[in-house]
Each structure stands twice: as C-alpha cells, then as structure tokens.
Amino acid sequence: MEAVPPDPTRRGFLQAGAGTALLCTIGGKGFALRDAKDAEAADAAARAVARPRQAAGAGEPADALKFGTPQPQPGGVRREYWIQARTVIWDIAPTGRDDWHGHAIPKPRAFKAVVYQLMTAGFAKAAGPAAMPGPTLVAEVGDTLVVHFRNNAEALGQALTMHPHGVRYTPDYDGVYLGGHTRAGGFIAPGEEFTYTWEAVPGAVGAWAYHDHGPNHTLNSQRGLFGCIVIREKGAPGPDAEFPLFLHALQPPVTGLRASFQCINGRAGAGNTPTLRSKVGQDVAMHVFGADNFFHDFHVHGHRWKDSGGASVDTKTIGPSEGMTARWTEDNPGRWLYHCHVFSHQDAGMAGWYFAEP
Ligand SMILES: [Cu+2]
C-alpha cells in the first residue's frame, strides 16, 4: 500500500481557505473581505459608526415598548458574571506542530484576536484567561444570568456587544446593533460598560453560544468574540467532564496571515487544540458549535451518542451558529482523536486528542 505523504507546508494550510471572501455590511456599506486591507477598511467604517439614537417610538409600535429587568423565578438566583472584551496577540499553534500528522506548522501563526475574559467583581482583575472561547456561563432553570460587560478593546476602537443564544431576553438585552433601531445593549463603545440580564427559562436547557453582535460583528466574532452558555434543569448535576468546542476557520482576511487555519477554540493542529481528558465511568459532555461561515462534521473516535431524535451517531453536521451536545458515559479507555470530518478541515488543523483514562 502506498503511503500518502502529508502536506506539511504552508501550501497545505493555504489551500484550505483559498479563494474565500467574507462579506459584511457596516453603516449601509458592503465589504467583501478578501485580505487584511479589506478588513482594515471595514474596521475604519465600524470606528466611524456613531452611537445610534435610542428608538424614540417614531417607528413601529414595538420600538416604543419599555422593558424592565427580569428577576429570578421563585427559588432561582442571580448568576453574576463580569466579562471584558479585549485584544490579545493569539498564537494559533503554540507548539509549532501538528501532533497527529507529525508535521511543523510554520510561522507566522499569531494575530491580533479580540476575545472575552472573565473578571472579578467590579472588573477589579482578571479571573480567567483572555481566550477563545470566552468564559462558560452556567445557570439553572429559574435563574437569571446577570452579565456585566465592559468593552476594554480600546485599540480596536469599535462598539462591541454580547449576544446570547437560547436564553430569554428582552430587546434591550439582545446585544444586537440594529442601525437606527438599536436598543440599549446593542452598542457598547470602547471604555463603556453594560449589564445584560438573560433568563434561564425551561426551554433554554442545553448548551448555547454567545458572541459579538455589534456594528462589525461579522469580523469581530471571527476574531475570537464567542463563548458558551450552559443551562441545566434545576438541581441537575453537571457532567463530570464538560468541554465547549468551537469549530471555525481563522482565515487571511480575519487574521492578516498568509495561511488559513482550521481551528477548534482558536487553535489548529492536535496538541494545540484542546486536549480533552476523562476517566472511565465519568459522564462526559462535549458542547460543539459552528463558529464560522462553513458546515462542519464533528466526529469522536471510539464513541457514540444519542442525537436529538434518539438515534445513535458518532458524526454530526453542525452549521453556522448551530450547537450540539455529544454526551456519554465513558466506557472505552485510550487515546482517541476527535475532529471535523470535512477532510480539508481536519487536515488544516481541526482535530485534537481525547484521552479516556482507565
Ligand atoms: Cu469542518
């Protein structure tokens, strides 16, 4: 049998994203993002976006609605988080190697990412890494998630937000920029703070993504502004081992790098992507999200789980901003691979190790 040689060169990484243009619209102007220069133009347009006037009721009746701040249901609690957005120099492959295919991942691999970071109360100091993904927010049904957000990405100079999926929120806490229809939480300028309140309603049980939805969210979400929300039933124990996994490309228009990287949590190549660990007998959950423009196909070797229809699967397609939880009781010890099964993605880095210890 003839061995298929790996393609350890930059060319191999380039091919994975060649010819891709991202599209975004800022302040009524469209941008086709083909390279870093286009991204700079989009950034400049986003910095020029003026703070929208509050909807004054001159539009649809819905624009005139006033909303209070939701409180926890009886027995529920406020789950308070302090989160900042900031820029960080982010190495996509710190080891410089793909430990599965056994080849080097050449420099340059670092770019200016924008990420969420967990802070202590009052934004006093960092309480977690400035990383992809941002902090995982956890609540139980009946609770409210109270998220104090600060835009500390002064160097970026653009309004940012936090927009949640899955939970319930009023338009003020949607965290979405809507041009002249923007409400309170949809435009947090550099240096500003805003407190979002989101409700863990019964239908919200599961794992969800949150991400930037400000004026330049197409770019800034892909620069790293995303994270995970987990809502559990009241009193339900969490899994023993729980992993949020975001599948996404980091492409030249976003990073300004020559190569295109296929990433899990901002990192490419086994050994850089999260190395996951569990023990036999443990309840294991992988919360998997699509965080770019493409469809991915999440696969874990040696395991299977039930999909939402109750069928056993070991590979599942995930579209943009879709989420899926793969959960099982560990019964198969060993070194396992998990990866996107789109071949061009797995070969450009969208893969990692999973160790199930006996
Ligand atoms: Cu993929």
Distance 341 CA to ligand 1 centre (A): 6
| pLDDT value at residue 2 | 36
Alpha-carbon distance of 32 to 23, in angstroms, equals: 5
**CA-wise closest residue to 177 among 50, 292, 294:** 50
Alpha-carbon distance of 205 to 289, in angstroms, equals: 16
| pLDDT value at residue 57 | 53
**CA-wise closest residue to 99 among 300, 306, 269:** 269
Distance 246 CA to ligand 1 centre (A): 10
96 class by beta-carbon count within 10 Å (0-12 exposed, 13-18 middle, 19+ buried):
middle
Distance 295 CA to ligand 1 centre (A): 6
Backbone angles phi, psi at 84, to 5 degrees: -115, 155
Please answer whether residues 159 and 189 qualify as being in contact, where contact means their C-beta atoms are separated by less than 8 angstroms.
yes
Distance 147 CA to ligand 1 centre (A): 31
DSSP 66: -
| pLDDT value at residue 210 | 98
Distance 348 CA to ligand 1 centre (A): 10
Distance 170 CA to ligand 1 centre (A): 33
Distance 345 CA to ligand 1 centre (A): 5
Distance 293 CA to ligand 1 centre (A): 10
List the structure tokens of 289: 């999200």
Distance 102 CA to ligand 1 centre (A): 20
| pLDDT value at residue 54 | 64
Alpha-carbon distance of 77 to 251, in angstroms, equals: 41
Distance 296 CA to ligand 1 centre (A): 3
Task: Tell me the three state secondary structure of residue 135.
Answer: coil
Distance 168 CA to ligand 1 centre (A): 29
Bridge partners (DSSP) of residue 125 are none
Q: Is the four-CA dihedral 245, 251, 255, 259 of positive or negative sign?
A: positive
Q: Distance of CA 108 to CAs 94, 104, 115, 133, 255, Å? A: 11, 12, 20, 22, 10
- The series of mean pLDDT values per 10 residues for the chain, 358 residues long, is 42 48 86 89 92 70 93 97 98 98 96 98 97 98 98 96 98 95 95 98 98 96 98 96 98 94 98 98 98 96 95 96 96 98 96 98
Q: Distance of CA 291 to CAs 57, 127, 246, 257, 262, Å? A: 35, 24, 6, 19, 11
Task: Tell me, yes or no, if the pTM score tops 0.95.
Answer: no
Distance 139 CA to ligand 1 centre (A): 29
Alpha-carbon distance of 12 to 347, in angstroms, equals: 8
List the structure tokens of 31: 């941008």
Distance 271 CA to ligand 1 centre (A): 18
List the structure tokens of 225: 């502004």
Distance 321 CA to ligand 1 centre (A): 13
Residue that has been written with the tokens 């806490």 in this structure: 173
Distance 43 CA to ligand 1 centre (A): 27
